[in-house]
Structure 1
Amino acid sequence: MWWCAMVRSTGVWLAALLLIGSTALVRAEELPPNIVFILCDDLGYGDVGCFGQKKTRTPHIDTLARDGMRLIQHYSGAPVCAPSRCVLLTGLHSGHSQVRDNREAQPEGQYPLAEGTVTLPGLLEGYVCGAFGKWGLGGPESSGKPLAQGFDRFFGYNCQRQAHNYYPQHLWSNDEKVLLKNPPFAAHQKFPADADPQNPAAFERYRGPDYAADLISEQALKFIDEHHQKPFFLYYASPVPHLALQVPEDSLKEYAGEFSETPYLGERGYLPHPTPRAAYAAMITRMDREIGRILERLEKYGLQRRTIVVFSSDNGPLYDKLGGTDADFFQSALDLRGRKGSVYEGGIRVPTIVKFPGVVPAGTTSSTLGGFEDWMPTLLSLAGMSTKIPEQADGRDLSPSLRGDWQAPREFLYREFPGYGGQQFVRSGKWKAVRQNLVRPVPTGKKKLAEWKEPLAIELYDLEADPTESTNVAAEHPKVVAKLHAIMLREHQPSVEFKMPRLDDEQAAAHKAAGK
């Protein structure tokens, strides 16, 4: 009868739908995990609530920590922007990496990664890879531009210098310059002498209709919308809270009247602001809001359980009062020594969180020693691509620690930085060795040259007993100093572009003495 035929037909149709749904579910489960890497800019170790911040509100980042794992002994790739990002994307520490300091390239961009560089997105086979935010590893016409370094999509600031202004005249969409509606104004200027700093309207000249951080966030969300059915790597390199102090009025109002304020008039670089403390807090809270939107978008598509989310910062907070900031007021580095540009803890230890439901235990903390070079092998391992980890990578796979399992301590973590006078550090267990003033011009005259070749003093700190690096104990532990000094010599690879002649000369002398 007709109704029997219809029942049979309907049954076949429902069975087909169930089969299709089951197949789709199996396929979804078989897909490798998505990766969302959130990188903040100059965010200090103590700038978010889950790492001790009391004045600035970061509810979504704090929820990320509640649902994931805090890494409390994690180090950025360098104490400034470009070299830190280079370490992150190449898996090479700063003694081996290409970009070791910030260096401008004209007319727009920074010193570029070379053609053929092995990068994390380039190794993620089967992934669509998007970078959104601040790049800083090669200008729009260079070998270092994002689309030449493994990314399929880019939107944001190509150049770090342009990112000093949150109301720029243009951003980049892939290789296309996108003009914005903002009026032209310099990102570094002082408040006019004839203007009234008590009049908020006098500061309106430092803003426009298009807030770059919002535009970048919208494009990151669109990337998820367009690629939620396939594995993706979303590198969300927020420019916040790097200077200048600029934030839309609706976010600034959230902190109106909360802090005592003195208008910043541009005396120490960047742009003036009538309420600099409120501006700094509001910038971070607005960024937190955008991170929340990304997490919500993952939930919309049911991706939260098969997405690895990493949150971190490229280096420590700014030093005293630069651009109107007040790191001491906010305790941005807690009680750690040093700020951005320094290899002491405050300049290079960064707040880091990992969330991966079912793999990373929620609400946990890990004291495993790690750094930015570790993310290439770790993420490849979690994506089921361990065989793709390059042999020359300096990082190690942290996935056992992220799962909550025991992991053997690493031998050492190494950093060198030719900026801010030239610096080195080695961390091994509780010990940290530091050397300063490594970049000096080669002197003339035999006597001065002999003095220049004398070993530089090495500071030694016991971070278990002295986390603030207040007491140099090198004299009491000569064997430890000698061991860490040997690592300093071994891990430094001379760079033609980022010279450290003092180190190069010392290393050559050591090789000669060893008969190498």
Structure 2
Amino acid sequence: MAGRYLHLLGCLCLLAASGALRGAEPTKLPNIVFLIADDLGYGDLGCYGQTKIRTPNIDKLATEGMRFSNHYSGSNVCAPSRCTLMTGKHPGHGYIRENHQAKGYSEGQEPVPAGLLKMPLRLQEVGYTLGGFGKWGLGPVTSSGDPLKQGFDRWYGYNCQAEAHNYYPTHLWDNDKQITLNNPKFAAHQKLPKDADVNNPASYAAYSGKDYAPDLIGEKALEFVRANKDKPFFLYFATTVPHLALQVPEDSLQEYAGKFPETPYTGDRSYLPHRQPRAAYAAMITRMDRDIGRILSVLRELHLDENTIVVFTSDNGPLYDKLGGTDTEFFNSAAGLRGRKGSYYEGGFREPCIVRWPGHIAPNSQTDRVSGFEDWFPTFMELVGRKDKTPADIDGISFAPTLLGQKQPERPFLYRESPGYGGQQCVRVGNWKALRRNLNPALKAKDQNPGPIELYDLANDPFEKTDLAKIHPEIVSELQLLLDKQHVKSDLFPMRVLDAKKN
């Protein structure tokens, strides 16, 4: 009897040592790496058809995960797009709906109220350490919108979007401390002097410095991953590339120097001049790709690959009309889509999107599911097993089943609005898309009437060349009901034509 007892006790000890009795031990939460470019077009990556710009690391990420063909940023400009991402609410219900400088602060945008950014706050609540690196734009340091008050444990980079126009700034923010950089002070919006030789590299020397901000930001992001390798982390890497101005270190520029026909840009269309604007744009994107490759390499080095969800996307579409010397037509940055940044034609907010999670998301897969920035919040909560932490009052719909290879119903609709660029609304239901413009005309504008609702069949007309509103008035009527219903009045960001209807 005593022998059998000792034998059983020994077995129990072995089982305990092996972990069999610890079956209830929680599985470690997967890390999340969210990589977001700034003004990158749908066609600016090799895996989305780009032929002139090298993006080998992002292209490899696409072969290892899932590529989206119908993913939409949160807005057509920077700050509201990020607000949509971090709140799970589309712009018709969002707090930030346009880029807006904060009042009473030396730099920074309109601060979001305390507790508004529920995605980072909930991730922190369930056990994540959060690090943000790059561009913020949702509230000045010390304001209610300070990233350190909205769920982030660590921040390094630009707080203000306007400061981020210069890649050689005089300072960056390390948490709540301003860090002085080894760069001369110069404005990010200026022209080449009239007497300058446009073909002489020396004429452009004043528009650079020693400390290239993306390099510093990238290094701090790597430090964060290494420091938190043994606990769940959320890395928000919000690079400023390829947003203007056109600035890139010489070692990256040389890869593309002389490769394209060039006309020196003198700064006559805002932002800084550059002798080789096309080479600079391409070099900035390839250098961004290199930085992303370094983050992916560190994940492999630390054996974190299998337990890390990696996302790559962009906050809105590419620039238009060669603003700041960019040439999106030359690079086919919007992949033929109509519209650019600031527009709700497809080129203004349909974005590249890649998601990788080895062992969970099938490699080299793709989906046509319509999704948007508001969907990331519930998607992450479902993927990490904390669906119960998803608020009921958001607009986002989890696409976790799609990522995991399961079928799920179509998204009922996807809605966007913006008070900027004359005021716009759009809604997509299936392949039908309704667009309405001139909803916020300037007070002095002669035309104070809203534009007619335009209707496009994206399945047969992806480039939105043919307005079908007159042929399908019944569809227009149905979609107009959604357009009217989804807008909620905002005193901070009025839409005069729509708000008049609500009164």
Q: TM over 0.5: same fold?
A: yes
Q: CA deviation at 1:198?
A: 1.1
1:490 aligned residue = 485
Task: Identify, as 1 or 2, the structure richer in helix.
Answer: 1
Instruction: State whether residues 442 and 501 of structure 1, in contact with CA within 8 Å, keep that contact through their aligned partners in structure 2.
Output: no
Counterpart in 2 of 1:234?
Answer: 235
Tell me which amino acid in the other structure corresponds to 2:262. Answer: E
CA RMSD of aligned residues (A): 2.2
Note closer, same or farther for the CA distance 1:79–1:441 as it changes in structure 2 (3 Å cut).
closer
Change over 3 Å in CA distance of 1:79–1:28 after alignment to 2? farther
Q: Which residue of 2 aligns with 1:349?
A: 350
| Number of the residue aligned with 1:311 | 312
Does the 8 Å contact 1:155/1:171 carry over to 2? Answer: yes
Q: Distance in 2 between matches of 1:138 and 1:48?
A: 31
The question of whether the paired residues in 1 share the 8 Å contact of 2:83 and 2:117 is answered with: no
Over 3 Å counting, the alpha-carbon distance change for 1:331 and 1:234 in structure 2 is: same
> Structure 2: which amino acid aligns with 1:352?
C
In structure 1, the partner of 2:54 is: 57
Kept in 2: contact 1:167–1:208 (CA 8 A): yes
The answer for the alignment partner of 2:428 in structure 1 is 427
What CA deviation, in whole Å up to 9, does each residue of 1:243-290 have, x standing for no partner? 000000100011121111111110100001110000000000000000
Select between 86-95 and 433-442 the one with higher mean Cα deviation: 433-442
CA 1:257–1:28 in structure 2 vs 1: closer, same or farther (change >3 Å)?
A: farther
State the partner residue of 1:98: 95
Matched, 1:474 2:498: no
Q: 1:40 aligns with which of 34, 37, 42?
A: 37
Aligned to 2:116: 117
1:207-255 Cα distance to aligned partner (Å, 9 max, x none): 1110000000000000001001000000000000000000001000111
Separation in 2, partners of 1:263, 1:112:
38
- Runs ≥4 residues deviating over 2 A: 18-23, 25-29, 440-444
Identify which range, 317-326 or 192-201, moves more after superposition: 192-201
Matches within 5 A, 1:37-436: 37-105=34-102, 106-124=105-123, 125-436=126-437
**1:151, distance to aligned residue in structure 2 (A):** 0.4
Deviation of 1:192 (Å) = 1.2
Give the counterpart letter for 1:123 in structure 2.
Answer: R
* 1:19 Cα deviation after fit: 8.8
Distance 1:356 1:441 in 2: 47
Distance 1:465 1:487 in 2: 23
Query: What is the number of residues matched between the two proteins?
Result: 487
Letter in 2 for 1:398: F
Residue 20 of structure 1 and its aligned partner are, at CA, apart by 8.1
Distance 1:170 1:478, change over 3 A: same
Of 452, 457, 473, which aligns to 1:457?
Answer: 452
1:441 CA drift (Å): 5.8
- Per-residue deviation, 1:118: 3.9
Residue 10 of structure 1 is matched in structure 2 by none
Q: Percent identity?
A: 57
Amino acid at match of 1:47: D
Q: Once the two structures are superposed, what CA deviation does each residue of 1:133-190 show, in whole Å capped at 9, x if it has no partner?
A: 0000001131101001110000000000000000000000100000001011110110
Q: Distance in 2 between matches of 1:495 and 1:390?
A: 21
TM-score by length of 2: 0.93
Shift of 1:28: 10
CA distance 1:207–1:30, change in 2 (3 Å): same
After superposition, the Cα gap between the structure-2 partners of 1:455 and 1:423, relative to the gap in structure 1 and judged at 3 Å, is closer
Instruction: Return the alpha-carbon distance in structure 1 between the equivalents of residues 210 and 266 of structure 2.
Output: 22
Partner of 1:5: none
